[in-house]
Amino acid sequence: MNVSIINIGDELLIGQVVNTNASWMASCLNENGMRVAHVFTIADNADEITRTLRLALVSSDAVLITGGLGPTKDDITKHTLCRFFSSHLVMHEPSLDNVRQIFAKRNYPMTPLNEAQAMVPAACTALLNKWGTAPGMWFEYEGKTIVSLPGVPAEMQGLMREEVVPRLRESFALEHIYHKNVWTFGIGESFLSDKIESWELALPENIHLAYLPQDGMVRLRLSAYGNRLDELEKQVDTEVEKLKSIVGEYIFGYDDDTLESVVGTLFSKHGKTLATAESCTGGNIARLITSVSGASAYYMGGVVAYANNAKEQLLGVQHTTLEQYGAVSRQTAEEMAIGAKCRFGTDYAVATTGIAGPTGGTPDKPVGTVWIAVADEYGVEARCFSFGADRARTVQRASYQALRWLQIKLE
Amino acid sequence: MNVSIINIGDELLIGQVVNTNASWMASCLNENGMRVAHVFTIADNADEITRTLRLALVSSDAVLITGGLGPTKDDITKHTLCRFFSSHLVMHEPSLDNVRQIFAKRNYPMTPLNEAQAMVPAACTALLNKWGTAPGMWFEYEGKTIVSLPGVPAEMQGLMREEVVPRLRESFALEHIYHKNVWTFGIGESFLSDKIESWELALPENIHLAYLPQDGMVRLRLSAYGNRLDELEKQVDTEVEKLKSIVGEYIFGYDDDTLESVVGTLFSKHGKTLATAESCTGGNIARLITSVSGASAYYMGGVVAYANNAKEQLLGVQHTTLEQYGAVSRQTAEEMAIGAKCRFGTDYAVATTGIAGPTGGTPDKPVGTVWIAVADEYGVEARCFSFGADRARTVQRASYQALRWLQIKLE
């Protein structure tokens, strides 16, 4: 089943806004077994909308339109679709109630313009927008479907999830799909692909595998197609178990997991506490850990010891260690981790010290060299990594590597 | 002058990759006085490419194509364009030299496939790609221009900047444009618009103003159109001076400035040093400061004092202060800033303590309440802010607010 997407908005054509709606919609449709044939990005202009809609209908079973629905843009999409269907606007009472409630809650006075947002062409089925004021609109046209949605991402996403996708799946009698995402870290896409080649080749025909590399990780997405959801789930779980026996050491989570969330869950579960001591990562590990709501239960805090003096004063790194081995060394990393563990009185501490660049590299310790240390009740360990010449990337990779190491320690 | 963009790539249609090429190109073209009429996103398919190219040519003076050029995808765009122009492939020697040099530098063996990347249709002018292996291709067609570029962002951007935009500007004899970006912080778009209304209305006709809100800041872009670049520059500078006299207190930088870069420049210039003490921002201020290369010259380090105990042990906040006023209070913020300044031995220190949420709020101190304090040689000051209910947004806003305050202190 082919879908085309039309994103309407002058702001997209001047490059002010990145078209994240297109990728979100494409990904959502793809996960639900629909193929996106084209994405058209066009201006807020009635003729353009009509022309592009006609064009999209030629090669698609459904056309999804976003944007041009707000009160300030004079609802250009709505009026254009109304003319396209030779229809007239009628009030959609549930949407009017919804607009009224939103205004009452915010204590804003309602204008006739706001009321008009609840009007829709008589030719459509209105889709109640629980996330905003403008309803979605569902049209049937010569055996095809045309859907118009607001351009505000949260409203579009809510309507897609709860209204549009279920209706499209039903209309086009699509098979069930069950997805499972497997997150790996520490192995490149091509190495991973080599390692799991025979498993991949032996996958049942109704299971598709996608490699989705992202921020130095590779996400594997298994998608099973069939008529019984419970069977698909069992089938995928069996394959994931096989996968774990081959590359389990690289797998850190599933579906919505992130490295910071799985680490957080482990610390909570074991009732352990954590501190950080960062030099080259400059607070990024702390930021990731504290981005998880509830982190205060296990994360006591950290030191960003950028200057050598701070490493000595706040973490108790020996002056002689810094002189003898340098700030970027196993010894300094270990003393930083031990220092953080003692000063914050935690069960674990992780430390980083390295050369983020672009300057400061030497032949011995080129830009991208990072020592990471983890201290726990049994002692302290350190390892050296090379993350390459890009400053931001080195900070990111070193931070993820530190979190991954903590996860392995706690598992 | 109208331009259409065609982005080719299956990965864009499954939503695996966000189409940032489209927004980058649109923004670049817009800044150079060209209007983007359409963006088409299509699959790696010869028929699709030809059909979309014909369609785009109808309404455009130039069509820019990206993607489908890599060695693994079998150069589908190149072969399609070759057929479109009834041309044949010829070797572009400068590109072959370029490919050879790249392989020699990386010590990789060259295959015939790699050599073939330097072949281009005889009908085009090849554009040397200094950022990668596949050359760009410039075609003239019935008074219009067709350009094909690699889909790798860095390669596309390099070719756009150095080859495509200057050639398009010349071909279509476009006026000069001079842009100046003015960054504001701490004022919403509508309030800003009210304040500068009379200035905006009095702008010369050849100067356009755009409001570009982003991450809680508003960027104002002035674009002057005319034939003499030096005059445009003078004209814009005069208007910016007027703007400064109206809303100077909200302006923190120009063009490529960021809050973290302007703060860094000020600390370097005055030879002063900085430390941070973060609770609710969890290391994000440290991360922003250390994202600027060379930050080690003025940033000594910081403490992420997430637990109360850490506030006491590492920053010297009084136990009685925490008991009497709570962790989220003026007193705690001030003692954190003073503690960081003393322990890191710096000239300045900035501290944050607040409730990032989603839990932990009280009627007195709702989620989003953040105290920020700055300590300097004259003493310490603290202010309270409300950043709303979103955790990530509160961290971001509080971090920027802290940086902005430091900037004002040092100016």
In tens, the pLDDT along A76-91 reads: 899 999 999 999 999 9
Residues A158-187: what's their mean pLDDT?
94
Residue A154's CB: how many other CB atoms inside 10 A? 10
Q: What is the largest CA-CA distance in chain B?
A: 84
Q: Give the pLDDT band (50/70/90) at residue B120.
A: very high
- Asked if the Cβ–Cβ distance from B29 to A15 is below 8 Å, we say yes
**Taking CB atoms and an 8 Å cutoff, what residues of chain B touch A12?**
22-23, 26, 39
* CATH architecture group of domain B2-171: 3-Layer(aba) Sandwich (3.40)
- Asked if the Cβ–Cβ distance from B28 to A15 is below 8 Å, we say yes
B169 touches A at CB < 8 Å: no
- Which tokens is B231 given? 């005059």
- Asked if the Cβ–Cβ distance from B304 to A302 is below 8 Å, we say yes
Instruction: Give A216-225 pLDDT, tens digit per residue.
Output: 899 999 999 9
The CA-based dihedral angle spanning residues B248, B252, B253, B259, taken in that order and rounded to the nearest 10 degrees? 180
pLDDT of residue A189: 84
pLDDT of residue B114: 82
Predicted structure pTM score: 0.86
Instruction: Give B354-408 pLDDT, tens digit per residue.
Output: 999 888 899 999 999 999 999 999 999 999 999 988 899 999 999 999 999 999 9
DSSP per residue, B75-120? THHHHHHHHHTT--EEE-HHHHHHHHHHHHHHTPPP-HHHHHTTEE
pLDDT of residue A26: 95
Q: Nearest chain A residue to B340 by CA: give it.
A: A314
Greater confidence (A70 vs A368) lies with A368
CA A319/CA A332 separation, integer angstroms: 10
Interface of A with B in 327-356 (CB under 8 A): 343-345, 356
Q: Give the pLDDT band (50/70/90) at residue B71.
A: low
pLDDT of residue B123: 97
A85 touches B at CB < 8 Å: no
Let me know: does A173 contact A236? Beta carbons within 8 Å. no
B29 touches A at CB < 8 Å: yes
Residue A71 clears pLDDT 70, i.e. is over it: no
**Taking CB atoms and an 8 Å cutoff, what residues of chain A touch B36?**
13-15
* CATH architecture group of domain B259-410: Alpha-Beta Complex (3.90)
What is the nearest CA distance from B200 to chain A, expressed in angstroms?
20
Q: Nearest chain A residue to B36 by CA: give it.
A: A13
What is the nearest CA distance from B49 to chain A, expressed in angstroms?
11
Residue A204, helix vs strand vs coil: coil
**Taking CB atoms and an 8 Å cutoff, what residues of chain B touch A287?**
282-284, 287, 395
Which of A6, A16, A48, A299 has the highest number of chain B CBs within 10 A, making it the mutation to test binding with B? A16
B1 touches A at CB < 8 Å: no
The contacts of residue B401 (CB under 8 Å, 6+ apart) are B186, B370, B372, B385
Residue type, B33: G
Instruction: Give A236-288 pLDDT, tens digit per residue.
Output: 999 999 999 999 999 999 999 999 999 999 999 999 999 999 999 999 999 99
Instruction: Give A27-51 pLDDT, tens digit per residue.
Output: 999 989 899 999 999 998 899 999 9
Average pLDDT, chain A: 93
- In the beta sheet, which residues pair with residue B146? B63, B139
pLDDT of residue B313: 95
pLDDT of residue A69: 59
State the CATH class of domain B176-254.
Answer: alpha beta
Domain boundaries, chain B: 2-171, 176-254, 259-410
A61 touches B at CB < 8 Å: no
A107 touches B at CB < 8 Å: no
Let me know: does A289 contact A276? Beta carbons within 8 Å. yes
CB pairs under 8 A between A and B: 231
Interface of B with A in 234-293 (CB under 8 A): 276, 278, 282-287, 289-291, 293
Instruction: Give B17-36 pLDDT, tens digit per residue.
Output: 889 999 999 999 998 989 99
Greater confidence (B209 vs A17) lies with B209
What ipTM did this prediction achieve?
Answer: 0.84
